[in-house]
A = this chain, B = another copy of it.
Protein backbone atom coordinates (compact mmCIF):
# COMPACT_ATOMS: atom_id res chain seq x y z
CA UNK A 1 0.00 0.00 0.00
CA UNK A 2 1.09 3.59 -0.66
CA UNK A 3 1.38 5.69 2.44
CA UNK A 4 1.09 9.43 2.46
CA UNK A 5 1.80 12.05 5.11
CA UNK A 6 -0.74 14.73 5.83
CA UNK A 7 -1.14 17.89 7.88
CA UNK A 8 -4.24 19.60 9.25
CA UNK A 9 -4.53 23.38 8.95
CA UNK A 10 -7.04 24.88 11.38
CA UNK A 11 -8.39 23.12 14.42
CA UNK A 12 -12.13 23.73 14.60
CA UNK A 13 -14.94 21.20 14.13
CA UNK A 14 -13.66 20.08 10.76
CA UNK A 15 -10.03 19.92 11.88
CA UNK A 16 -11.02 17.71 14.80
CA UNK A 17 -13.09 15.61 12.37
CA UNK A 18 -10.03 15.05 10.19
CA UNK A 19 -7.93 14.15 13.22
CA UNK A 20 -10.41 11.50 14.36
CA UNK A 21 -11.05 10.29 10.80
CA UNK A 22 -7.37 9.63 10.17
CA UNK A 23 -7.54 6.95 12.86
CA UNK A 24 -9.61 4.92 10.35
CA UNK A 25 -7.01 5.04 7.58
CA UNK A 26 -3.90 2.93 7.43
CA UNK A 27 -2.33 4.67 4.47
CA UNK A 28 -2.45 8.26 5.71
CA UNK A 29 -0.28 9.44 8.56
CA UNK A 30 -0.83 12.66 10.50
CA UNK A 31 2.33 14.74 10.74
CA UNK A 32 0.82 17.63 12.66
CA UNK A 33 -1.93 20.15 13.27
CA UNK A 34 -1.17 23.75 12.32
CA UNK A 35 -3.16 26.57 13.91
CA UNK A 36 -3.08 30.33 14.03
CA UNK A 37 -3.53 30.01 17.78
CA UNK A 38 -0.86 29.07 20.29
CA UNK A 39 -0.52 25.29 19.70
CA UNK A 40 -0.30 24.68 23.46
CA UNK A 41 -3.87 25.91 23.79
CA UNK A 42 -5.25 23.22 21.50
CA UNK A 43 -6.95 20.35 23.27
CA UNK A 44 -5.24 17.53 21.38
CA UNK A 45 -2.64 14.81 21.88
CA UNK A 46 -1.50 15.04 18.25
CA UNK A 47 1.63 17.04 17.41
CA UNK A 48 0.52 20.68 17.15
CA UNK A 49 2.42 23.65 15.72
CA UNK A 50 1.89 27.29 14.98
CA UNK A 51 1.01 27.84 11.34
CA UNK A 52 4.15 29.98 10.92
CA UNK A 53 6.20 26.79 11.27
CA UNK A 54 4.45 25.12 8.35
CA UNK A 55 7.02 25.98 5.68
CA UNK A 56 9.67 23.92 7.41
CA UNK A 57 7.45 20.84 6.87
CA UNK A 58 7.43 21.30 3.11
CA UNK A 59 9.34 18.10 2.44
CA UNK A 60 7.61 16.05 5.12
CA UNK A 61 3.98 16.53 4.12
CA UNK A 62 2.33 15.14 0.98
CA UNK A 63 -1.02 16.89 1.42
CA UNK A 64 -2.51 19.54 3.68
CA UNK A 65 -6.15 19.30 4.71
CA UNK A 66 -7.39 22.87 4.95
CA UNK A 67 -9.98 23.08 7.71
CA UNK A 68 -10.48 26.81 7.95
CA UNK A 69 -13.83 28.55 7.48
CA UNK A 70 -15.09 29.21 3.97
CA UNK A 71 -16.05 32.78 4.69
CA UNK A 72 -12.78 34.29 5.82
CA UNK A 73 -10.04 31.67 6.14
CA UNK A 74 -9.96 29.63 2.93
CA UNK A 75 -10.01 32.49 0.39
CA UNK A 76 -6.74 33.68 1.94
CA UNK A 77 -5.11 30.50 3.23
CA UNK A 78 -5.81 28.15 0.32
CA UNK A 79 -4.00 30.08 -2.46
CA UNK A 80 -1.09 30.85 -0.12
CA UNK A 81 -0.61 27.26 1.00
CA UNK A 82 -1.02 25.87 -2.53
CA UNK A 83 2.30 27.52 -3.39
CA UNK A 84 4.21 24.98 -1.34
CA UNK A 85 1.81 22.13 -0.67
CA UNK A 86 -0.78 19.92 -2.26
CA UNK A 87 -4.08 20.87 -0.61
CA UNK A 88 -7.66 19.75 -0.12
CA UNK A 89 -10.43 22.02 1.12
CA UNK A 90 -14.20 21.93 1.71
CA UNK A 91 -14.90 25.46 0.46
CA UNK A 92 -18.68 25.75 0.46
CA UNK A 93 -19.49 29.25 -0.72
CA UNK A 94 -21.23 27.98 -3.88
CA UNK A 95 -21.39 31.32 -5.72
CA UNK A 96 -17.70 31.96 -5.28
CA UNK A 97 -16.45 28.50 -6.27
CA UNK A 98 -15.50 29.57 -9.82
CA UNK A 99 -13.34 32.39 -8.43
CA UNK A 100 -11.79 30.11 -5.82
CA UNK A 101 -11.02 27.58 -8.56
CA UNK A 102 -9.35 30.14 -10.85
CA UNK A 103 -7.15 31.47 -8.06
CA UNK A 104 -6.08 28.00 -6.98
CA UNK A 105 -5.55 26.75 -10.52
CA UNK A 106 -3.14 29.57 -11.29
CA UNK A 107 -1.09 29.07 -8.10
CA UNK A 108 -1.09 25.29 -8.37
CA UNK A 109 -0.01 25.25 -12.01
CA UNK A 110 2.75 27.79 -11.39
CA UNK A 111 4.08 25.80 -8.46
CA UNK A 112 3.44 22.22 -9.61
CA UNK A 113 1.01 21.38 -6.84
CA UNK A 114 -2.46 19.84 -6.72
CA UNK A 115 -5.27 21.84 -5.09
CA UNK A 116 -8.52 19.94 -4.62
CA UNK A 117 -11.35 22.29 -3.70
CA UNK A 118 -14.91 22.08 -2.47
CA UNK A 119 -14.94 18.47 -1.30
CA UNK A 120 -17.28 17.40 1.52
CA UNK A 121 -20.93 16.64 0.91
CA UNK A 122 -22.47 19.87 -0.39
CA UNK A 123 -20.49 20.88 -2.28
CA UNK A 124 -18.89 17.50 -2.81
CA UNK A 125 -20.88 14.30 -2.94
CA UNK A 126 -24.17 16.09 -3.60
CA UNK A 127 -22.56 17.92 -6.52
CA UNK A 128 -21.27 14.63 -7.90
CA UNK A 129 -24.73 13.15 -7.76
CA UNK A 130 -26.31 16.20 -9.40
CA UNK A 131 -23.80 15.68 -12.21
CA UNK A 132 -24.25 11.91 -12.58
CA UNK A 133 -28.04 12.22 -12.47
CA UNK A 134 -28.20 14.97 -15.07
CA UNK A 135 -25.64 13.37 -17.40
CA UNK A 136 -27.47 10.05 -17.33
CA UNK A 137 -31.01 11.41 -17.39
CA UNK A 138 -30.84 14.53 -19.56
CA UNK A 139 -34.63 14.90 -19.58
CA UNK A 140 -35.74 15.54 -16.03
CA UNK A 141 -35.54 17.63 -12.90
CA UNK A 142 -33.11 17.49 -9.99
CA UNK A 143 -34.17 18.36 -6.46
CA UNK A 144 -31.88 18.89 -3.47
CA UNK A 145 -33.38 18.61 0.01
CA UNK A 146 -31.25 19.49 3.02
CA UNK A 147 -31.66 18.06 6.48
CA UNK A 148 -32.80 17.02 8.95
CA UNK A 149 -29.76 18.93 10.08
CA UNK A 150 -28.31 21.56 12.31
CA UNK A 151 -27.64 24.88 10.65
CA UNK A 152 -24.79 26.72 12.35
CA UNK A 153 -25.59 30.06 10.75
CA UNK A 154 -29.27 29.97 11.69
CA UNK A 155 -28.51 28.80 15.23
CA UNK A 156 -26.12 31.73 15.63
CA UNK A 157 -28.80 34.10 14.34
CA UNK A 158 -31.34 32.85 16.88
CA UNK A 159 -28.79 33.14 19.69
CA UNK A 160 -28.45 36.84 18.89
CA UNK A 161 -32.19 37.44 19.59
CA UNK A 162 -32.76 39.23 22.89
CA UNK A 163 -33.94 36.88 25.62
CA UNK A 164 -32.38 33.76 24.05
CA UNK A 165 -29.87 31.91 26.23
CA UNK A 166 -29.26 28.83 24.08
CA UNK A 167 -30.61 27.86 20.68
CA UNK A 168 -30.32 25.44 17.80
CA UNK A 169 -31.99 25.49 14.44
CA UNK A 170 -32.66 22.37 12.41
CA UNK A 171 -33.44 22.54 8.72
CA UNK A 172 -35.96 19.86 7.77
CA UNK A 173 -37.07 18.79 4.32
CA UNK A 174 -40.85 18.74 3.78
CA UNK A 175 -41.23 14.95 3.89
CA UNK A 176 -44.40 15.00 1.80
CA UNK A 177 -42.58 16.66 -1.06
CA UNK A 178 -39.64 14.25 -0.83
CA UNK A 179 -42.08 11.33 -0.99
CA UNK A 180 -43.88 12.87 -3.96
CA UNK A 181 -40.63 13.17 -5.89
CA UNK A 182 -39.76 9.55 -5.06
CA UNK A 183 -43.23 8.50 -6.17
CA UNK A 184 -42.72 10.14 -9.58
CA UNK A 185 -45.29 12.86 -8.94
CA UNK A 186 -44.92 16.43 -10.13
CA UNK A 187 -43.93 18.84 -7.36
CA UNK A 188 -43.69 22.59 -7.14
CA UNK A 189 -40.24 22.86 -5.59
CA UNK A 190 -38.50 25.90 -4.37
CA UNK A 191 -35.99 26.08 -1.56
CA UNK A 192 -38.49 27.83 0.72
CA UNK A 193 -41.48 25.55 0.16
CA UNK A 194 -39.32 22.43 0.29
CA UNK A 195 -37.95 23.02 3.77
CA UNK A 196 -39.08 24.01 7.19
CA UNK A 197 -37.07 25.40 10.06
CA UNK A 198 -37.36 23.98 13.56
CA UNK A 199 -35.89 25.98 16.42
CA UNK A 200 -35.22 24.89 20.02
CA UNK A 201 -34.73 27.75 22.45
CA UNK A 202 -33.68 28.01 26.08
CA UNK A 203 -34.95 31.38 27.35
CA UNK A 204 -33.18 33.82 29.64
CA UNK A 205 -35.00 34.10 32.95
CA UNK A 206 -37.03 37.24 32.35
CA UNK A 207 -37.67 36.69 28.64
CA UNK A 208 -41.16 36.39 27.11
CA UNK A 209 -41.89 33.42 24.84
CA UNK A 210 -44.21 35.29 22.48
CA UNK A 211 -41.83 38.14 21.87
CA UNK A 212 -38.88 35.84 21.26
CA UNK A 213 -40.89 33.65 18.92
CA UNK A 214 -42.10 36.66 16.94
CA UNK A 215 -38.56 38.00 16.64
CA UNK A 216 -37.38 34.66 15.28
CA UNK A 217 -40.08 33.86 12.75
CA UNK A 218 -40.05 37.34 11.22
CA UNK A 219 -36.27 37.56 10.90
CA UNK A 220 -35.53 38.55 7.29
CA UNK A 221 -33.25 36.31 5.14
CA UNK A 222 -33.14 33.65 7.86
CA UNK A 223 -36.76 32.74 8.71
CA UNK A 224 -39.18 35.04 6.94
CA UNK A 225 -41.01 33.10 4.23
CA UNK A 226 -40.19 29.69 5.74
CA UNK A 227 -42.51 27.51 7.75
CA UNK A 228 -40.87 27.88 11.17
CA UNK A 229 -41.56 25.99 14.40
CA UNK A 230 -40.22 27.33 17.68
CA UNK A 231 -39.98 25.03 20.71
CA UNK A 232 -39.03 26.24 24.16
CA UNK A 233 -37.05 23.76 26.24
CA UNK A 234 -35.07 23.76 29.47
CA UNK A 235 -31.31 23.73 29.76
CA UNK A 236 -31.03 20.05 30.67
CA UNK A 237 -32.98 18.97 27.61
CA UNK A 238 -30.81 21.24 25.51
CA UNK A 239 -27.64 19.74 26.93
CA UNK A 240 -28.73 16.15 26.49
CA UNK A 241 -30.48 16.34 23.11
CA UNK A 242 -29.20 19.30 21.14
CA UNK A 243 -25.43 19.48 21.29
CA UNK A 244 -24.60 17.17 18.40
CA UNK A 245 -24.04 18.36 14.84
CA UNK A 246 -26.25 16.08 12.76
CA UNK A 247 -26.98 16.81 9.13
CA UNK A 248 -27.69 15.21 5.80
CA UNK A 249 -30.09 15.45 2.93
CA UNK A 250 -31.19 14.00 -0.35
CA UNK A 251 -30.50 14.62 -4.01
CA UNK A 252 -33.26 13.30 -6.25
CA UNK A 253 -33.77 13.34 -9.97
CA UNK A 254 -36.91 12.31 -11.81
CA UNK A 255 -35.85 11.55 -15.36
CA UNK A 256 -37.70 10.34 -18.44
CA UNK A 257 -35.79 7.67 -20.32
CA UNK A 258 -38.60 7.73 -22.89
CA UNK A 259 -42.12 9.16 -23.10
CA UNK A 260 -43.74 6.90 -20.54
CA UNK A 261 -40.81 5.52 -18.59
CA UNK A 262 -39.52 7.36 -15.56
CA UNK A 263 -36.38 6.71 -13.52
CA UNK A 264 -35.89 8.05 -10.03
CA UNK A 265 -32.25 8.56 -9.07
CA UNK A 266 -31.67 9.09 -5.36
CA UNK A 267 -28.67 9.87 -3.19
CA UNK A 268 -29.08 10.45 0.54
CA UNK A 269 -26.95 11.03 3.60
CA UNK A 270 -27.91 10.77 7.26
CA UNK A 271 -25.02 12.01 9.37
CA UNK A 272 -24.73 11.99 13.15
CA UNK A 273 -21.80 14.35 12.74
CA UNK A 274 -21.65 16.77 9.84
CA UNK A 275 -18.01 17.80 10.47
CA UNK A 276 -16.80 14.22 10.89
CA UNK A 277 -18.43 13.11 7.64
CA UNK A 278 -17.24 16.20 5.78
CA UNK A 279 -13.77 15.40 7.11
CA UNK A 280 -14.09 11.80 5.94
CA UNK A 281 -14.78 12.97 2.40
CA UNK A 282 -11.88 15.42 2.52
CA UNK A 283 -9.58 12.63 3.72
CA UNK A 284 -10.47 10.42 0.75
CA UNK A 285 -9.76 13.34 -1.58
CA UNK A 286 -6.45 13.98 0.21
CA UNK A 287 -5.44 10.47 -0.83
CA UNK A 288 -6.49 11.33 -4.39
CA UNK A 289 -4.50 14.58 -4.29
CA UNK A 290 -1.37 12.73 -3.22
CA UNK A 291 -1.74 10.21 -6.06
CA UNK A 292 -2.38 12.96 -8.62
CA UNK A 293 0.70 14.86 -7.43
CA UNK A 294 2.79 11.72 -7.81
CA UNK A 295 1.49 11.47 -11.39
CA UNK A 296 2.31 15.15 -11.90
CA UNK A 297 -1.26 16.07 -12.80
CA UNK A 298 -0.98 19.56 -11.33
CA UNK A 299 -3.56 22.33 -10.96
CA UNK A 300 -6.89 22.88 -9.24
CA UNK A 301 -9.27 19.91 -9.27
CA UNK A 302 -12.85 19.50 -8.19
CA UNK A 303 -14.72 16.28 -7.45
CA UNK A 304 -15.79 16.35 -11.12
CA UNK A 305 -12.17 16.03 -12.29
CA UNK A 306 -11.06 13.06 -10.20
CA UNK A 307 -11.64 9.44 -11.20
CA UNK A 308 -13.34 7.62 -8.30
CA UNK A 309 -10.63 4.97 -8.03
CA UNK A 310 -8.20 7.60 -6.71
CA UNK A 311 -10.25 7.87 -3.51
CA UNK A 312 -9.60 4.30 -2.43
CA UNK A 313 -6.47 2.88 -0.84
CA UNK A 314 -7.05 -0.32 -2.84
CA UNK A 315 -5.35 -0.91 -6.15
CA UNK A 316 -7.40 -0.91 -9.37
CA UNK A 317 -7.35 -4.70 -9.85
CA UNK A 318 -8.67 -5.25 -6.31
CA UNK A 319 -11.36 -2.66 -6.85
CA UNK A 320 -12.51 -4.37 -10.04
CA UNK A 321 -12.59 -7.75 -8.33
CA UNK A 322 -14.23 -6.66 -5.08
CA UNK A 323 -16.51 -3.75 -5.86
CA UNK A 324 -17.40 -3.67 -9.55
A interface list, Cβ under 8 A from B = 17, 20-21, 23-25, 94, 97-98, 101, 118, 123, 125, 127-128, 130-132, 134-139, 182, 184, 255-258, 260-273, 276-277, 279-281, 283-284, 287, 302-309, 311-313, 316-317, 319-321, 323-324
- Sample of 8 more A-B contacts, CB < 8 Å, known A24-B139, A182-B270: A135-B287, A136-B277, A136-B281, A257-B277, A263-B280, A264-B268, A305-B316, A306-B307
Nearest-Cβ distance from residue A78 to partner chain B, whole angstroms: 15
Identify A320's interface contact among B261, B264, B302, B308, CB under 8 A: B302
Q: What residues of B have a CB within 8 angstroms of the CB of A321 in the complex? A: 97-98
Q: Is there contact, CB below 8 Å, between B265 and A266?
A: no
Residue of B nearest to A122 (CB): B324
The secondary-structure label for the interface of chain A is helix
Q: Is there contact, CB below 8 Å, between B320 and A304?
A: yes
Q: Is there contact, CB below 8 Å, between B131 and A323?
A: yes
Give the docked Cα–Cα distance between A23 and B261 (Å). 14
Identify A131's interface contact among B24, B265, B308, CB under 8 A: B308
Residue of B nearest to A259 (CB): B20
Q: Is there contact, CB below 8 Å, between A304 and B316?
A: yes
Q: Is there contact, CB below 8 Å, between B97 and A324?
A: yes
Q: Is there contact, CB below 8 Å, between A123 and B307?
A: no
Residue of B nearest to A91 (CB): B324
Q: What residues of B have a CB within 8 angstroms of the CB of A21 in the complex? A: 257-258
Q: Is there contact, CB below 8 Å, between B284 and A135?
A: yes
Give the docked Cα–Cα distance between A307 and B305 (Å). 5
Q: A138-B25, A324-B123 are in contact. Are A258 and B270 (CB under 8 A)?
A: no
Would you mind naming 29 contact pairs between A and B with Cβ atoms under 8 Å apart? A17-B257, A20-B258, A24-B138, A24-B256, A97-B324, A101-B320, A125-B132, A128-B132, A128-B308, A135-B287, A135-B308, A135-B311, A135-B313, A136-B280, A136-B281, A136-B311, A137-B280, A182-B270, A255-B280, A257-B272, A263-B269, A263-B272, A264-B270, A266-B266, A266-B267, A267-B268, A303-B324, A304-B316, A305-B309
